Amino acid sequence: MSYYRVFAVKPMRLLLIVNAVVFMIWIFILFTNFNNSEDKTSHIEEYEQKTLALAQSERRIIKLKQSLKNRYPNAIDYIDAHVKRDLPTIYAITPTYARWTQKADLTRLAQTLLHVPNFRWIVVEDSDTKTPLVTRFLKFSGLQYTHLNAKTDINFKLKSTDPNWLLPRGVSQRNEGLRWIRENLPANTDGVLYFLDDDNTYTLQIFEEMRTTEVASAWPVGLSGALKFEGPGKCENGKVLEWYTAWKPERPFPIDMAGFAVHIKLLFQHPKAQYSNSVPRGYLESDFLTGLKLQRQDMEAKANECSEVLVWHTRTEKPKMKHEEALIKQGKSSNSKMEV
Ligand code: UGA
Ligand code: MN
């Protein structure tokens, strides 16, 4: 075989092979382009469907707004003023129990809460059933609320003659509120949890302070711990440097229930964390916060670097009712139909 022949045949084969490779690449490109365009079309179709669905929802909202406006002329203004779509919602759990001053305390609190946008009030009655008084009260409160009940176990219930520090209060009710949140809110809810007792005094500023809580936050509480204030005492750059307390300073968190808030996501990260009836006196708050795996240094300092008191641990005086009680005993209350 001469060199020439070999050379003459080989380039032909080479050409064939090159041609075959080019053809395969071309087929490949054609195929992937076809796939891409199929992909593009399906994306466009999906986009068009979603746009249509959105337009339908918008039309439904307009119709709902119109019918709402026909029935309650001021409702839309109220909703627009109170629901701001880009603000995290505050979920506040309030334990409450029947007593002479209950309606007065709830009224004072509700009228503060009416000024707080993006707010849901979770009211949990310490009773076997939802009472007519609280049911009616909430219905006419004008607030966005959830009404629950959970009776305190008889073994943990204070008697009217007991000193109030003997047993922790509001435990079963706060736990019922936590259960509701975990069962009814999506785990990715951008919201803040606060425990709002029914007899304290709250400024509107404190709600705006807690609203920006990323993980957990704390601030001083006035008239707490037998001091002018208790809780974070010295703060810098959003961190708590010193805690101010006189009683049991070794507590993981020397703080009142009204002095902290946590982001809702923590409840889902620690699904078992809740309040306990069997903690030493003063450890209710610390026990809950450590259950969320929080430490003192995790707390974001609020209330202007913890330099202001924006909430007070006030208590309502028990009214003297000896004449009323005597009348009730005789079966002739002042006016049994009057709700007080
Ligand atoms: C302090 C704290 O501020 C409370 O948050 C904490 O629960 C309480 O101590 C405690 O150590 O247990 P204090 O003013 O002594 O608060 O307690 P209350 O205001 O009498 O009760 C706290 C909440 O529980 C209130 O919202 C109250 O309505 C509710 N509560 C009280 C019940 O639901 N059932 C009761 O039998 C008593
Ligand atoms: Mn109280």
Per the CB < 8 A criterion, the answer to whether 301 and 232 are in contact is yes
Strands of the sheet containing 221-222, edge to edge, are 145-149, 119-125, 89-96, 191-195, 260-263, 216-218, 300-301, 239-244, 229-236, 221-222, 311-312, 201-202
Average pLDDT over residues 200-209: 98
Residues 6+ apart with CB under 8 A from 137: 103, 106, 107, 110
Task: Using most ligand atoms within 8 A of CB, pick from 107, 113, 197 the residue to mutate for ligand 1.
Answer: 197
Ligand 1, closest atom to CA 195?
Answer: 5
Reported as a pLDDT band with limits 50, 70 and 90, residue 37 is confident
Give 99-108 pLDDT, tens digit per residue. Answer: 999 999 999 9
Residue entry with tokens 């936590």 = 178
Ligand 1: lining residues by beta carbon, under 6 Å: 94-97, 126, 152, 158, 164, 168-170, 173, 197-199, 256-257, 284, 313, 315
Read off the tokens for 143: 């607030």
On the question of pLDDT at 131 being above 90, the answer is yes
Taking phi first (over 0 means left), then psi (-120 to 50 degrees means alpha), and beta for anything else, what does residue 15 get? alpha
At 150 the pLDDT is 98
Give 87-97 pLDDT, tens digit per residue. Answer: 999 999 999 99
On the question of pLDDT at 219 being above 60, the answer is yes
Active site amino acids: 285
At 65 the pLDDT is 83
| Ligand 1, atom 27, residue with closest C-alpha | 96
Please name which ligand lies nearest the alpha carbon of 95: 1
Average pLDDT over residues 265-274: 98
Residues 6+ apart with CB under 8 A from 78: 142
At 64 the pLDDT is 87
On the question of pLDDT at 85 being above 90, the answer is no
| Ligand 1, atom 8, residue with closest C-alpha | 169
On the question of pLDDT at 116 being above 70, the answer is yes
| Residue 67: other Cβ atoms inside 10 A | 9
Taking phi first (over 0 means left), then psi (-120 to 50 degrees means alpha), and beta for anything else, what does residue 242 get? beta
In terms of pLDDT, which residue wins out, 337 or 312? 312
Average pLDDT over residues 43-71: 86
Give 143-202 pLDDT, tens digit per residue. Answer: 999 999 999 999 888 888 888 888 999 999 999 999 999 999 999 999 999 999 999 999
pTM of the model: 0.80
At 9 the pLDDT is 58
Ranges 72-81, 111-120, 169-178: which has the least confidence: 72-81
Question: What DSSP string runs through 200-253?
Answer: SEE-HHHHHHHHT-SSEEE--EET-TTSSEEEEEEEETTEEEEEE-SS-TTSSS
Ranges 259-263, 310-314, 326-330: which has the least confidence: 326-330
| Residue 142: other Cβ atoms inside 10 A | 13
At 336 the pLDDT is 84
Reported as a pLDDT band with limits 50, 70 and 90, residue 338 is very high
Dihedral angle of Cα 324, 326, 328, 331, to the nearest 10 degrees? -140
- 237 CA → ligand 1 middle, Å: 33
Give 241-251 pLDDT, tens digit per residue. Answer: 999 999 999 99
Average of per-residue pLDDT values in the chain: 92
In terms of pLDDT, which residue wins out, 191 or 14? 191
Average pLDDT over residues 215-242: 98
**Residue type for 109, please?**
L
Ligand 1, closest atom to CA 196?
Answer: 26
Ligand 1, closest atom to CA 282?
Answer: 11
On the question of pLDDT at 1 being above 50, the answer is no
Q: For residue 315, which phi and psi values (nearest 5 degrees)?
A: -135, 145
In terms of pLDDT, which residue wins out, 80 or 318? 318
- 338 CA → ligand 1 middle, Å: 27
Ligand 1, closest atom to CA 164?
Answer: 15
